[in-house]
């Protein structure tokens, strides 16, 4: 594993990162993604990422959220609702529960997908894969009492 990745994993596991990152990274990603017409997502330099467009759970309005993701072999994606190890589920997870038919922008391509909340054995297997993919998720889970939500996105 490259030294830069190990360093980023260590930094991303800190409470300071959890306080600052949710305010800085998504704003930066949205701006760069818009300026490059969907070709560049800065945070994807460390982890693969998508831009999720989902309807708000309460408002029904489109909500655009840059997210780290784990590409799956079948062409879908796994989304991990870690919220950087902060209390409370991220808002985008409630949006997916209310309106599972969404769209992601993956490497500049808009892809219609359906989100499925993983439970039971499917969640356990996906969680094991997520930890192998990005070990700091274990630290995030240790810091919160809630179970981190995992969603599988499949192409529609």
- Judged on CB neighbours under 10 Å (0-12, 13-18, 19+), 2 is exposed
The boundaries of the domain holding residue 72 are 3-155
Question: What number is the average pLDDT over the span 22-28?
Answer: 76
pLDDT in tens, 37-62: 776 766 666 688 999 999 999 999 99
Q: Which residue has the higher pLDDT, 46 or 71?
A: 71
* Confidence band, pLDDT 50/70/90 cuts, at residue 34: confident
- Using DSSP's 3-state secondary structure scheme, residue 76 falls into coil
90-126: pLDDT as tens digits: 999 999 999 999 999 998 899 999 999 999 999 999 9
Q: Is 145 exposed, middle or buried (0-12, 13-18, 19+ CB in 10 A)?
A: exposed
CB 150 within 8 A of CB 90: no
The number of domains in the chain is 1
The whole-chain average pLDDT of the chain stands at 89
Looking up residue 57, the CATH number of its domain turns out to be 2.30.110.10
């Amino acid at each position: 594993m490259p030294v830069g990745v190990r360093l980023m994993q260590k930094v991303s596991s800190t409470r300071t990162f959890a306080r600052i990152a949710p305010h800085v990274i998504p704003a930066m990603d949205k701006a760069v993604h818009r300026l490059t017409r969907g070709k560049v997502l800065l945070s994807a330099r460390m982890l693969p990422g998508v831009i999720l467009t989902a309807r708000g759970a309460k408002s029904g309005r489109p909500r655009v959220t840059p997210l780290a993701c784990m590409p799956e072999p079948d062409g879908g994606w796994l989304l991990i609702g870690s919220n950087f190890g902060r209390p409370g589920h991220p808002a985008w997870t409630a949006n997916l529960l209310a309106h599972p038919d969404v769209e992601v922008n993956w490497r500049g391509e808009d892809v219609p997908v359906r989100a499925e909340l993983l439970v039971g054995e499917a969640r356990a297997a996906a969680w094991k894969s997520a930890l192998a993919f990005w070990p700091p998720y274990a630290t995030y889970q240790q810091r919160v009492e809630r179970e981190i939500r995992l969603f599988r996105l499949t192409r529609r």
